[in-house]
């Protein structure tokens, strides 16, 4: 008998943790549970379709299931189909690695107007998440609020020509939506000054490869701070780039205070750095201002009552990692350090031989669970259907995924 560990969330933080646990103790039974029928979470549904290099980490995570012995159990929503308490009773340790799927709100008047879209929801639609809303109409002059990497992702995708999506996993519907957007201008606006922006300079420099845009950077300023100087240098590289028909403008030091319009958003009202007001006309307002907890796992209450929130221990036998532990900060690779530290904590606290708990046996009889083999069938169908110029076509409905996976047979 060996210890049994359930990790809730098959995204990067969950996969990195499973890797660390099994590397340290290969005979562990590690089950990676996800509410979706497919693994890899943020890599599949958050990373932009044209960043296939970043998505390449999936090949590393696949080895976790194919060689290291981790078990994938998909289409299982904890606290909906099985309670967290029941899961804790069945496993020696349970780790919550479900990320932060909700979008932060601006908290200003007009935020509920049509034409206002949060980045998380829009990114899910672009990545063909099975629970995503339809792709929205953005009009000729969208404004993007925020200047982190998510905002830069949206800007880059919306500014690309159809030819620049070559090699991506953007599906036919998404490709057609981008090609027909009719966007003439994109403004990307940050509350902070340019030197304090949250984007990665590499992401900004990548914009200098776009073919169909003209880029302007307004009011970036200067700074003696080394980190700020890197961001300002990246902006300087792209300022003046291109002569394309789409005008991309970076602006800083504007705080949104209201959105106005009759049937949909027409004007964004900002407070300027000197206390004045500026009004910017727009046909859509996209917010990329961070993420928050959402769903049935009650993350905020668990973290607030944690025994050691910083160390990832929520309670006896219950842990958290990744964004679920530390909030919406850090990149995908940064979850590896989280995982390695937490793996040491868990292995020091659980009985190496296990406690004789039932583990995955409590899941028997639950309908439509998806195994790793089921995911492989979905994966094979997606890659086989890829048209010329694309690396896959995602299956966008849960029903179709389940039909392909034949999950219940695989888990017996």
* Tokens describing residue 264: 């949909």
In tens digits, what is the pLDDT along the chain, a chain of 412 residues? 789 999 999 999 999 999 999 999 999 999 999 999 999 999 999 999 999 999 999 999 999 999 999 999 999 999 999 999 999 999 999 999 999 999 999 999 999 999 999 999 999 999 999 999 999 999 999 999 999 999 999 999 999 999 999 999 999 999 999 999 999 999 999 999 999 999 999 999 999 999 999 999 999 988 999 999 999 999 999 999 999 999 999 999 999 999 999 999 999 999 999 999 999 999 999 999 999 988 899 999 999 999 999 999 999 999 999 999 999 888 888 899 999 999 999 999 998 788 889 999 999 999 999 999 999 999 999 999 999 999 999 999 999 999 999 744 544 4
Cβ-count burial of 208 within 10 angstroms (0-12 exposed, 13-18 middle, 19+ buried)? middle
Side-chain half-sphere CA neighbours of 127 within 13 A: 24
For position 1, what pLDDT does the model report? 74
Q: How far apart (Å, rounded) are the C-alpha atoms in residues 246 and 412? A: 55
For position 412, what pLDDT does the model report? 43
* Tokens describing residue 159: 């500014």
Strands 246-251, 185-189: parallel, antiparallel or unpaired by DSSP?
parallel
First-to-final CA distance of the chain: 20
For position 407, what pLDDT does the model report? 46
Please give the full DSSP string across 250-313, using - where no structure is assigned: EE-S-EEEEEE-SSB--EEEEE-TTS-EEEEE-SEEEE---EE--STT-HHHHHHT-SBTTTTE
Alpha helix (H) ranges present in 82-171?
84-90, 119-126, 149-159
Among 22, 184, 15, 6, residue whose Cα is nearest residue 88: 6
For position 408, what pLDDT does the model report? 45
């Amino acid at each position: 008998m060996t210890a049994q560990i359930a990790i809730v969330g098959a995204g990067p933080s969950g996969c990195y943790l499973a890797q660390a646990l099994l590397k340290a103790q290969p005979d562990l039974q590690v089950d990676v549970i996800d509410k979706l029928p497919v693994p890899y979470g943020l890599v599949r549904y958050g990373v932009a379709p044209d960043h296939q290099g970043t998505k390449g980490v999936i090949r590393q995570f696949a080895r976790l299931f194919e060689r290291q012995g981790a078990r994938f159990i998909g289409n299982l929503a904890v606290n909906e189909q099985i309670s967290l308490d029941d899961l804790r009773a069945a496993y020696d340790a349970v780790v919550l690695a479900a990320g932060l799927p909700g979008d932060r709100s601006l908290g200003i008047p007009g935020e509920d107007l049509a034409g206002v879209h949060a980045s998380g929801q829009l990114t899910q639609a672009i990545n063909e998440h099975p629970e995503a809303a339809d792709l929205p109409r953005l009009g000729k002059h969208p404004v993007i609020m925020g200047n982190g990497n998510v905002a830069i992702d949206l800007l880059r995708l919306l500014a690309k020509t159809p030819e620049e999506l070559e090699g991506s996993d953007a599906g036919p519907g998404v490709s057609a939506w981008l090609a027909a957007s009719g966007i003439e201008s994109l403004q990307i606006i940050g509350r902070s000054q340019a030197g304090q922006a949250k984007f990665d300079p590499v992401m900004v420099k990548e914009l200098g490869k776009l073919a169909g845009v003209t880029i302007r950077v307004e009011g970036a300023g200067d700074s003696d701070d080394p980190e700020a100087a890197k961001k300002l240098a990246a902006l300087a590289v792209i300022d003046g780039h291109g002569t394309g028909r789409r005008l991309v403008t970076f602006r800083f030091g504007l705080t949104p205070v209201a959105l106005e319009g009759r049937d949909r958003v027409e004007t964004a009202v900002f407070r300027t750095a000197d206390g004045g007001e500026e009004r910017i006309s727009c046909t859509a307002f996209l917010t990329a201002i961070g993420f928050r907890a959402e769903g049935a796992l009650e993350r905020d209450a668990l973290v607030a009552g944690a025994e050691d929130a910083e160390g990832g221990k929520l309670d006896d036998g219950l842990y958290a990692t990744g964004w679920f532990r530390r909030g919406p900060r850090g990149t995908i690779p940064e979850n590896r350090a989280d995982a390695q530290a937490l793996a040491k904590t868990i292995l020091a606290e659980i009985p190496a031989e296990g406690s004789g708990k039932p583990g995955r046996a409590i899941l028997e009889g639950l309908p439509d669970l998806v195994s790793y083999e089921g995911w492989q069938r979905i994966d094979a169908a997606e890659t086989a259907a890829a048209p010329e110029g694309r690396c896959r076509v995602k299956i966008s409905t849960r029903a179709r995924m389940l039909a392909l996976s034949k999950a219940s047979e695989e888990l017996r």
